[in-house]
Amino acid sequence: MDADVIIIGAGLAGLVAGNELIRAGRKVVMVEQENARNLGGQAFWSFGGIFLVDTPMQRRLGVRDSFDLAWQDWQGSAGWDRLDGELPEDEWAQQWGRAYVEFAAGDKRPWLQEQGVKFTPLVGWAERGNGSAAGHGNSVPRFHVPWGTGTGICEPFADKARAAAEEGSLSLRFRHRVDGLVMDGSTVTGVHGTVLAPDDVERGITSNRDAVGAFELRAQAVVVASGGIGGNHEQIRKWWPTRLGTPPSTMITGVPQHVDGRMLDIAADAGVRLVNRDRMWHYTEGVRNWDPVWPQHGIRILPGPSSMWFDALGRRLPAPGLPGHDTIGTLKLLRTTPDLVRYDHSWFILTQKMIEKEFALSGSEQNPDLTNRDLRLLLRSRLGRGAPAPVEAFKDRGEDFVVSDTLRGLVAGMNRLTDTALLDHESIERQIVQRDAQLDNPYSKDVQVMSIHNSRRFLGDRLTRTAGPHRILDPAAGPLIAVKLHVITRKTLGGIQTDLTGRAFDAAGAPIHGLYAAGEAAGFGGGGAHGYNALEGTFLGGCIFSGRTVGRSLAALL
């Protein structure tokens, strides 16, 4: 035996599982196809938001939350509907979903703080929903922002892994690509694969795939924590569900290229049961990065509620196509409307006053104030005059941004960003005037304007995330800004089916001795803990919870 446990993948789920095993005195080998700079995986690049329920931060902002309300929201969003038949795909997913909400309402925050994660007072209101009390969306703000953004979540665990490697309880095998599982009958006893040539590229940059050797490792158990398919457009199109219409002919990418889902197919070929592979999570508010790290590198805009959203033909999107409300609902709207299928983009139109208050960019590198834990910069960039510097940089340098003092000039600039002039100035002006007419009173029949007023009732949004209601065509709020939006790939919501200990199943629905899965590879638990939708702040949290669960299960078993 080379170790008690082999963990495939050095991302957040693998690090958390490894930390639990090492604390229990177990010996761990962690294999990772990328170099040491990539320790922490995708979590490093994230904004770092964490879904928490009924916290002191919420209560200080006047938010009343509870497990019951959060579980109601989770069920309405998940919509698990594969619960019948001999081998129901959602059987364990539903149980993992409830267990995760219990974790989020219980010891998640104090446990993370014990691990070295620190939280800001900020609580965001993500995925505000489809307009139904029983349907998708967060009834209250639950998106808690850590100091350090994604680095503030993953680096405490990465530091523990580095310390364990120095003292010998953890062996980190970078540039080791797993090509298959080693089986002894029906028991997984190890992994085999290819040693890749050294490559000292910076984090996130595509590395070489030159083979320089082979390896085989043995252990009492193997944990698959290798991530999903977000960097592999071919796999995304293969599993794209018919309920979401036609996949875009072009997409931008929200994760490094090596997030390719390769290990999922290797597991399936070995007889491991994968479920809900047609469930996925891609954003519709992506912009091309003017300073890319990986191929087709995109950044997601985290919008406030005020920008007007238009389709490629210049028609205002109906609900649930409102900024920050319903990611999958908006994706479905854009990809199933017959005359939009040939187009891969949509548009925000907003004002300078809106962009200053409402635009944030997802990613640790796009939030230097939070990532560097710089309180003065945080106060200046979030509460001061002007937009945060990274947002202004995209406005000035990003190829998807148009700025003009007049609507006619704005529409002309928007038409220059498409092969054919698709937008009519008079039509867009009419729709904006109709919307602006709803702002003369503190009430409205316009669903989006209602949402703006609702948002302003939450202190956190009023201070940092929602501009005062104003007319888009008011020159004092200008200049006008348009943003060409693309579908940006991100997360796999299905994966290896596991029980509540993280043990994987075979194709016949029987547990596989010696094989476990965690994180995105396991659909964040059970092969689909999110169901069809996510409430945000739940991807990192799902990696943490499933990794902790698997680590503790194996520590007790071995």
- Owner of token pair 């200049």: 479
Radius of gyration of the chain (CA): 23
User: What whole-number distance in Å separates Cα of residue 19 and Cα of residue 28?
Assistant: 9
pLDDT of residue 378: 79
Using alpha carbons only, what angle is made at residue 115 by residues 111 and 119, rounded to the nearest 5 degrees?
Answer: 75
Lowest mean pLDDT among 116-125, 334-343, 373-382, 468-477: 373-382
User: What whole-number distance in Å separates Cα of residue 137 and Cα of residue 219?
Assistant: 42
User: What whole-number distance in Å separates Cα of residue 411 and Cα of residue 114?
Assistant: 52
Which position has the higher pLDDT, 263 or 374? Answer: 263
pLDDT at 173 over 90: yes
293 phi, psi to nearest 5 deg = -105, -45
H helix runs in 211-326, sequence order: 233-239, 262-269
User: What whole-number distance in Å separates Cα of residue 245 and Cα of residue 307?
Assistant: 25
pLDDT at 383 over 80: no
Whether 534 and 491 have beta carbons less than 8 Å apart is answered as yes
Q: Average pLDDT of 470-486?
A: 98
The DSSP code sequence of 194-244 is EEEPP--PPTTSPPP--EEEEEEEEEEEEEE----STT-HHHHHHH--GGG
What would the pLDDT profile of 215-235 be if each residue is shown by its tens digit?
Answer: 999 999 999 999 999 999 999
Give CA separation, 501 vs 101, 155, 217, 509, 548, in Å.
16, 25, 23, 15, 10
Q: Average pLDDT of 21-46?
A: 97
Amino acid at 341: V
* Averaged confidence pLDDT in the chain: 97
What would the pLDDT profile of 324-368 be if each residue is shown by its tens digit?
Answer: 999 999 999 999 999 999 999 999 999 999 999 999 999 999 999
pLDDT at 401 over 90: yes
User: What whole-number distance in Å separates Cα of residue 217 and Cα of residue 181?
Assistant: 10
Q: Average pLDDT of 257-275?
A: 97
Quick one: what percent of the chain has pLDDT higher than 90? 96
Q: Average pLDDT of 138-150?
A: 97
What would the pLDDT profile of 78-97 be if each residue is shown by its tens digit?
Answer: 999 999 999 999 999 999 99
What would the pLDDT profile of 438-458 be if each residue is shown by its tens digit?
Answer: 999 999 999 999 999 999 999
Instruction: Count the alpha carbons within 13 Å of 266 in the hemisphere toward its beta carbon.
Output: 21
Which position has the higher pLDDT, 372 or 500? Answer: 500
pLDDT at 386 over 90: no
Q: Average pLDDT of 495-499?
A: 98
- Two tokens, residue 186: 């029906």
What would the pLDDT profile of 464-473 be if each residue is shown by its tens digit?
Answer: 899 999 999 9
Please, what are the domains in the chain? 3-226+493-557 (3.50.50.60), 282-374+385-488 (3.90.700.10)
Q: Average pLDDT of 483-493?
A: 97
pLDDT of residue 73: 98
pLDDT of residue 375: 83
Using alpha carbons only, what angle is made at residue 451 by residues 446 and 456, rounded to the nearest 5 degrees?
Answer: 130
pLDDT of residue 450: 96
pLDDT at 384 over 90: no
pLDDT at 374 over 90: no
| Burial readout 37-60 (b: 16 or more C-beta within 10 A, e: otherwise) | bbbbbbbbbbbbbbbbbbbebbee
pLDDT band at 377 (very low <50, low <70, confident <90, very high): confident
Q: Average pLDDT of 160-164?
A: 98
